[in-house]
Structure 1
Amino acid sequence: MFKIGEFSKLTQVSIRMLRYYDETGLFKPATTDCFTGYRLYSVTQIPMLHKIIFLRDLGYTVSEIKIALDHWTGDFIADQLKSKRTEVQHSIEQETEKLRKIEAALENIKKDEIAIRYDFIIKQIPTYSVISLRRVLPNYFCEEMLWRELGQWSQKENIALPSNGQCFAIYHDNEFKEKDVDVEVCIVVNVKKKTEGTLCFRETEAVEMMACTMVYGPYENISGVFRSFAYWLTEHSGFKMSGKNRQICHRGPWNEENPAHYLTEIQIELEKV
């Protein structure tokens, strides 16, 4: 048997961590001296401790490690590792995106362009005859699924789409949401057919005043438009936001390979104060 200090040196695990694992019930000493209260460890415990350290270094929490140890079979651990791999890949993507934003911010600071101001013009938007598909999506990035489904349905039903491909998205939520977003995608058409469910032919609402601006570059730039619009509203105190926002992608993944060349029109409904 080894005292905790000896066991710490032999396994290269700190005394603090050994005590923590004991307190959480994850890895207890083989026995405790009834007279001194010293924790005593056995050499036969080393393989178990190595498993714990292995999983800890992969980012497993204590509760996850407990589950893994209780079901330590080849198939179970393989599934666990595949799941952890996906989680790590997602985390890497998120961190890479943070780095990209930091690099972009540094470039903008150099150019004194960190607060880009967009020019807005006020338009009157007429009503349109459209075929539309509306659904609550997990997040805004899932909008592409709606466009794909609407396009496939139109092709299946032999719906003649205009050559100019006029289409737009309507965002029905009154706030920005991280999930469960209410989105409707619309394609302007000249025909009507009977439909069921969330697919329908309808007339969109005419809008008396829309504040409109063009966004060049990847979709990540769109968030800057709304920040800039906050300044615009401050400078034009006779207006306030009202109703729903719309988005028209004039150039996107379907007709432009380089995201830097995307062209998106943002429309924000207004009313006079």
Structure 2
Amino acid sequence: MFSIGDFARHGQVSVRMLRHYDAVGLLPPARVDAATGYRFYTAAQLARLNRLVALKELGFTLEQVGRMLEPGPDAAELRGMLTLRRAELEQRIAADRSRLTEIESRLRIIEKEGVMPDQDVVIKSVPAVRVAESSSCASGFGPEAIGPVIGPLFDELAGRLAEAGIAIAGPAIAYYDPRDDGTVGVHACMPVTVEPDAAPDFTIVDLPALEQVASTIHRGNVSGIGAAWQAFGRWVEDNGYRTSAPCREVTLEWTPDPDSWVTELQEPLAPR
């Protein structure tokens, strides 16, 4: 038999936790010394401890755990439950990382409030361009909403173009349009030089020419592009312009390292 300290060490839990499990009747010791009150456990009780801890980590209350331990799930069932819980936790961690990135971006924006934008802005025209386009919908304009949509759209579109034997003829373009229900239309585009009927399972369209566009460059991960767009917006207003058609993001340089990306922001302007 093991003392409570040794059993805690082998079971990788605290002595305090073992005493609590005993108090609520989930894991009483195999023997209690009548003279000293010392608790003793057997190696066989490790199996129950493992299930108890696993079920608790799955989010069940101790009352629910107690009911589930009698007779309790077998190893295969428990493995499946833990695998599902792991997937849920991984999704939560990914969501938390996304929120942290958004918070950091907002902090950078706040720190630059009242500071003159450091972006170089040029006014130019943009010719019409024929693109293969894949579209979907996001819940909003935030990176936590756009990011999970636009990346897979580009991956899917590039794969379909490769399957169709259609060459990409220029830098990737993304544009977004707000919808009446509050969602955002997300469009991933690749320039091509084929006829519209050459696409078997995606759309080929002509993006219209833009007579007057304010253009600036964002260098680095697009997770931080919000600060660039806000500074850009202040420039547009400070210089007496109004926006018109949906803005575009043009990927001028793409590398496996997102921090090395170069993206052109294009803000179509209405006449003054």
- Mark yes or no: TM-score above 0.5: yes
Query: Relative to structure 1, is the Cα distance of residues 76 and 272 closer, same or farther in structure 2, using a 3 angstrom cutoff?
Result: farther
Task: Determine whether 1:232 maps to 2:238.
Answer: no
Task: Determine whether 1:190 maps to 2:193.
Answer: yes
| Other structure's SS at 2:157 match | helix
Q: Is the 8 A contact 1:169 1:186 kept in 2?
A: yes
Q: Is the 8 A contact 2:196 2:205 kept in 1?
A: no
Instruction: Give the CA deviation at 1:193.
Output: 4.4
Task: Determine whether 1:83 maps to 2:84.
Answer: yes
**What is the distance in 1 between the residues matched to 2:62 and 2:247?**
44
Unaligned runs of 5+ in 2: 1-15, 27-46, 140-144
| Other structure's SS at 2:246 match | strand
Q: Is the 8 A contact 2:216 2:264 kept in 1?
A: yes
**What is the distance in 2 between the residues matched to 1:159 and 1:64?**
61
Instruction: Give the CA deviation at 1:89.
Output: 2.9
Task: State the partner residue of 1:31.
Answer: none
Q: Is the 8 A contact 1:130 1:203 kept in 2?
A: yes
Task: State the partner residue of 2:13.
Answer: none
Task: State the partner residue of 1:152.
Answer: 159
| Count of aligned pairs between the two proteins | 224
Query: Relative to structure 1, is the Cα distance of residues 156 and 49 closer, same or farther in structure 2, using a 3 angstrom cutoff?
Result: closer
**What is the distance in 2 between the residues matched to 1:155 and 1:10?**
59
Q: Is the 8 A contact 1:170 1:246 kept in 2?
A: yes
Task: State the partner residue of 1:136.
Answer: 137
State the identity as a percent.
21
Partner AA of 2:238 in structure 1: E
Partner AA of 2:73 in structure 1: T
Structure 1 segment 27-66 matched on structure 2, within 5 A: 55-56=55-56, 58=57, 60=59, 62=61
Query: Relative to structure 1, is the Cα distance of residues 54 and 78 closer, same or farther in structure 2, using a 3 angstrom cutoff?
Result: closer
Instruction: Give the CA deviation at 1:263.
Output: 0.6
**What is the distance in 2 between the residues matched to 1:174 and 1:155?**
31
**What is the distance in 2 between the residues matched to 1:68 and 1:125?**
68
Task: State the partner residue of 2:120.
Answer: 119
Query: Relative to structure 1, is the Cα distance of residues 89 and 132 closer, same or farther in structure 2, using a 3 angstrom cutoff?
Result: closer
**What is the distance in 1 between the residues matched to 2:17 and 2:130?**
76
| Other structure's SS at 2:225 match | helix
Partner AA of 2:243 in structure 1: M
| Other structure's SS at 1:244 match | coil
Task: State the partner residue of 1:216.
Answer: 219
Task: State the partner residue of 2:35.
Answer: none
**What is the distance in 2 between the residues matched to 1:202 and 1:64?**
60
| Other structure's SS at 1:194 match | helix
Task: State the partner residue of 1:73.
Answer: 73
Partner AA of 1:243 in structure 2: A
Q: Which runs of 4+ in 1 moved over 4 A?
A: 47-54, 61-68, 93-106, 113-116, 195-198
| Other structure's SS at 1:149 match | helix
Unaligned runs of 5+ in 1: 1-7, 19-26, 28-46
Of 134-143 and 119-128, deviating more is 134-143
Q: How does the TM-score come out when normalised to structure 2?
A: 0.62
